[in-house]
Amino acid sequence: MKTTMMLGVALLSVTGACASSSHGEKVRDARMEQADDRATGQPATGATEDLHQLSNDRTDYQAHAREELGKQRVRIDTSKQKLAILGAHAPASLASDLATAEKQHSMISDEVARLDSTSADRWDSAKQRVDRDLSDLDERLSQVASKIDDQH
């Protein structure tokens, strides 16, 4: 019995050494892979997945933002047509408000185009800024449309 117990302890020691050796090999292999990745300039597998997810997020968000900009462009064009119909009866401030909305639309379009080069650490804040700007433009266009409708 004493012999069996010592054999069990010896077996556990050997197994533990092998397991720790296997773990050590995995750590060494992972470090070697990271060194290779740094040398070749290619990201590690986890980083590749993160970049892929960020790329998908960018594409989806930009499509959404461009769709919103398209809707707002239609509203701007509609307001311009109504303003032209009003002609001399339209207050000058309305034309100014509409010109401001067009400039704001152009700036947001540029900002959405620049999202391609936004770094991963600035992505969330860039999206929030575009969302805020789209919301502000939407509010401005609602006010312009309301003022035009009040002129009828």
In this predicted structure, which of 17-26, 43-52, 137-146 has the lowest mean pLDDT? 17-26
Task: Judge if 37 and 110 occupy the same domain.
Answer: no
Distance CA 20, CA 11 (A): 14
Single-letter amino acid, residue 12: L
Residues 24, 63 within the same domain: no
Residues 50 and 64 in one domain: yes
Based on the structure, what is the number of domains in the chain? 2
One domain, residues 56 and 2 = no
Q: Is the whole model's pTM more than 0.75, yes or no?
A: no
Per-residue model confidence (pLDDT) at position 35: 64
Q: Which two tokens stand for residue 110?
A: 């540029």
Judge if 102 and 31 occupy the same domain: no
The answer to whether residues 101 and 76 touch, using CB atoms and an 8 Å cutoff, is yes
Q: How many CB atoms lie within 10 A of CB 28?
A: 10
pLDDT, greater one: 60 or 49: 60
- Stretch 136-148: mean pLDDT, rounded? 95
91 is in which domain, residue-wise? 46-150
Rounded average pLDDT over 36-42: 61
pLDDT band for 101, please (50, 70, 90 cuts): very high
Q: Based on the domain organization, do 142 and 68 belong to the same domain?
A: yes
Determine phi and psi for 91, rounding to 5 degrees: -65, 145
In terms of domains, do 90 and 128 share one?
yes
